[in-house]
Every structure is written in C-alpha cells, then in structure tokens.
Structure 1
Amino acid sequence: MLRGVNRVLVGAAGVVLAGVGVAVLAGAFDLQRRWGFTLPSGWPFDGPRDVLLSRAARTKWRGAGWWWPAVIAGLGAVVLLALWWLLAQVRRRRLRELVVDCGDGEEAVLRGRALEEAVCAEAEALEGVERAFVALEGRRGAPEARVGLTLAPHASPAVALSRLDGEALEHARVSAGVGRLAVSVRVRAVRHRAERVG
C-alpha cells in the first residue's frame, strides 16, 4: 500500500510542478503573444513583467481575524502529513505472527520473531556466511522476507544464495506452512583491513 501511496503522491506533485512551471515559462517568455494563444482569464501571470501574486493579493486578508489561524493550521497540517509520510518510509512493518495450518483443521500461531531468529541462525551456519539478518514483512497469509548476508572473502555468492534458498528458506516455508515466501536478499562481503607484514 505504501508503494502505491508513494507513486500517487510523487506523480501528483510532478504533474502540479510541471504544469505550473510550463505556465510560468509561457508567461515569462511571452509565448502567448508570440505564438498567438491565450491563457485562462484568471491566470495572474501572463506577461514577462507580471508577478504571480500582486501586493494587493498578498495583503488582502491580513486584516481578517481568521487569516493567521487558517494559515498556521494549513501549514501545520502540511507539516504533519509530511512527517507521517517520512516516518512511513523509514519504518517498515514487521510481521508479528503467522498462522500455520496444522493439517487437522486446527491452526497454530507462529511468532514472526521466532521464525526470523531460526532462519537467521540457520543462515549463519551456512559455509561462508559470517553474519545474517532476517526480517519478516507482509501479511499473515502472504509473508515476505528481507535477508541480509555478510559473506567471508573466500565465499561464493552464488553458492551461498543457492544454499540459503534450498536449506534455510525452504525449512522456513515448510515450518510456516506457506507455499510461497517472497524473499529479497542483500549480499555484501566482509572487508578486512590490510596488515603490514615485515
């Protein structure tokens, strides 16, 4: 859902900024007189010497008692929405629990943290893997895993990924009772400092 909200917000902001930019440039370069078209009658900026907001428009509502509270409330709402959006980018929802079908008509609840720890321990036991990080996201019925692997300098990434998928992640799929577990893996190698020999 967050990905869809991001696309809508970025798309809407892009359309508004592009439209305003094109209209301002059309007025600044006096394109309507050069090319023979007209801008809407209410558009305030239709020539190179015009300004977007005249002095009268900028000071029109200053004397009204509701003006400054409305401005402050509007800016406060914009700031709160921007903070909410920023926090939503940083914070990803971790999966608290998964529902496991026991096969006899009953269901069990598996804690997401327990499955993360089990997959992480099994991944770190693989040859060539120095450290591992596992986070479960998504919905209870359709979990997704983010995996981070730190490989030893001698390790082969292809072998490590193959064994991760065939062992640790396959065991997670079977134990959680999910047919499909979407996984994104980030691999990096350990960097050792060069030491002076001599």
Structure 2
Amino acid sequence: MLKGVNRVLLGVVGLVLVVLGGSVLAIGLGAPAPSWWPHDGRHDVLLDEAERTRWRDDGWWWPAVIAVLAVLVLLSLWWLLAVLRRRRLTEVLLDTGDDEGASLRGSALEQALAEEVSHLDGVARAHVLLTGRRGTPRTRILLRLRPHIDPGTTLRSLEKGPLTHARDSAGLAALPTEARLHTVKHGPERVT
C-alpha cells in the first residue's frame, strides 16, 4: 500500500511542480501569462510590498506560518524515512561456533521456509517475509489455508516443523514469528 501512496503523491507533487515551474519559466522567457496567473507579466514580482507586509502587525501570522512549515518538514522527513526504510532483511548473520561468522541471504531463508511451510497439511499457499536485524531476524508468514482446516493444528505444525528447522539451521537462539492466516476462497462449483 505504501508503494501505491508514494506513486500517487510523487505524481501529484511532480505534476504541480512541473506546471508551476513551466509557467514561471515560460512567462520569464516572454510568453503571455495565462488567465489564471496571478501576476501581470515578465517583470512582476511574486510577492509585492503589500503582500509581504499585509499581516505583519497580526501576532498570529508568523507563528502560524512557522508551524505550517514545521509540519510540512516533519511530514516530508517521515515520508523520506518510510521510503528509505527497508522492510526486508537482506542477510542473516550466522554463528558458526569457531569465532568466525557467516552470512545467509535473507531471500534464501525466506524461500526455504516458504517451501517447507507450503508442504504442511492444509496450507494452500505460504508467503514469508524476513524482517528485523541481521543478528535477530523476525519472520512474518501469510498462510492461505484450505477450507475446513483447524488453524490451531496448522500453527502447532508450523512451530514444531518449519520454524524449528529454520531456527536450528541458522543457529538462532530465537525466531519470533507473526503468522496471519486466511482461508482460500473457492468459487461456486457446478454439480451435475
């Protein structure tokens, strides 16, 4: 969802900036000003003396401007951090026991875990996402269960089988997991 929101916001902001910047550039180069343009022509300033000093005597004006700009800066920083933050773990550090370390690609562990989970009884599909830090990974597992399968039994099988195997094979002390269970929706079937 964040990817879609980013694309829409970037598209809207980009479009507004291109239209305004292109208009300013065109008018600065001598093109006639469009009817919606608030200024007269090429030598007109964006903020004249009256516009700059209109609310100088009002005590609320500058604190309001500074507050709005501060909120915009904070929202921009939050957006930048959300975009730059990696959701996937690229590698897991393994303790080999000989004072040397090794690393395992996160995608390899995800694929191996998803393959083993998908072979559990009652699981139609499985999707695994590795998050957290390199030394303390966490997993998020989305399970699509077949109809009439007991979720408790599937969770116990998940814990005792694939999660234990992944934790032991990677030499991890713990592998916290968030599992989300959904049932596969089947369309109506024709009975003859």
TM-score in terms of structure 2 length: 0.61
Alignment partner of 1:195 is 2:189: yes
Question: Which of 164, 176, 180 is residue 174 of structure 2 equivalent to?
Answer: 180
Aligned equivalent of 2:144? 150
Aligned equivalent of 1:11? none
What RMSD in Å do the two structures reach over aligned CA positions? 3.0
Question: Which of 158, 161, 171 is residue 164 of structure 1 equivalent to?
Answer: 158
Paired residue secondary structure (1:59): coil
Deviations 1:2-48 (A, max 9, x none): xxxxxxxxxxxxxxxxxxxxxxxxxxxxxxxxxxxxxxxxxxxxxxx
Question: How many angstroms does 1:154 deviate by?
Answer: 2.8
Aligned equivalent of 1:82? 75
Aligned equivalent of 2:97? 103
Aligned equivalent of 2:18? none
What residue identity is the alignment partner of 2:55?
A: T
- What is the distance in 1 between the residues matched to 2:108 and 2:146? 26
Rate the CA distance shift 1:187–1:84 in 2: closer, same or farther, 3 A.
Answer: farther
Deviations 1:83-109 (A, max 9, x none): 443575686622111111112222110
The more displaced of 87-96 and 147-156 is 87-96
- What is the distance in 1 between the residues matched to 2:88 and 2:113? 15
Unaligned runs of 5+ in 2: 1-53
- What is the distance in 2 between the residues matched to 1:124 and 1:61? 69
What residue identity is the alignment partner of 2:134?
A: R
- What is the distance in 2 between the residues matched to 1:176 and 1:96? 14
Paired residue secondary structure (1:159): helix
Identity of aligned residues (%): 47
Deviations 1:107-136 (A, max 9, x none): 110011110111001000111100111111
What residue identity is the alignment partner of 1:78?
A: V
Unaligned runs of 5+ in 1: 1-57
- What is the distance in 1 between the residues matched to 2:128 and 2:94? 19
Alignment of 1:124-143 (within 5 A): 124-143=118-137
Alignment of 1:23-102 (within 5 A): 59-60=55-56, 71=65, 75=68, 78-85=71-78, 93-102=87-96
Question: Which of 116, 125, 128 is residue 122 of structure 1 equivalent to?
Answer: 116
- What is the distance in 2 between the residues matched to 1:89 and 1:129? 32
